[in-house]
Structure 1
Amino acid sequence: MHHLRQAADGNIADVGYFSILAQEWPEVLAGLLERLALEPQRTPHGFAGI
């Protein structure tokens, strides 16, 4: 949704809503966990190995 509400600083904010049905959750969770496993490990100074 574009220009849905006013942010605390006075700017107009866009908002996104998503829904996941109970029967969809196992597949969604598996995909999220896979994506997390592929992410470079974050360190306080950026990404490991970069």
Structure 2
Amino acid sequence: MASMMDRIKEYLRGPKGHEHVEKVKTMARDPQNQRKLRELVDRWRTRRTHH
């Protein structure tokens, strides 16, 4: 039985996996998405330090 990581690696090597990786790379270059991600990470960090 394949582990979860093995299945993920196999998926990413396939055509659909490549397609999704490229889509994520494109989204990551968008400054607005970068800002949203930073805000999310900041909120997550703030929550973790207060508990």
Normalised to the residue count of structure 2, the TM-score between the two structures is 0.36
> Comparing both structures, which one devotes a greater share of its residues to helix?
2
Q: Which has the higher contact order (CA 8 A, sep 6+)?
A: 1
- Rg larger in structure: 1
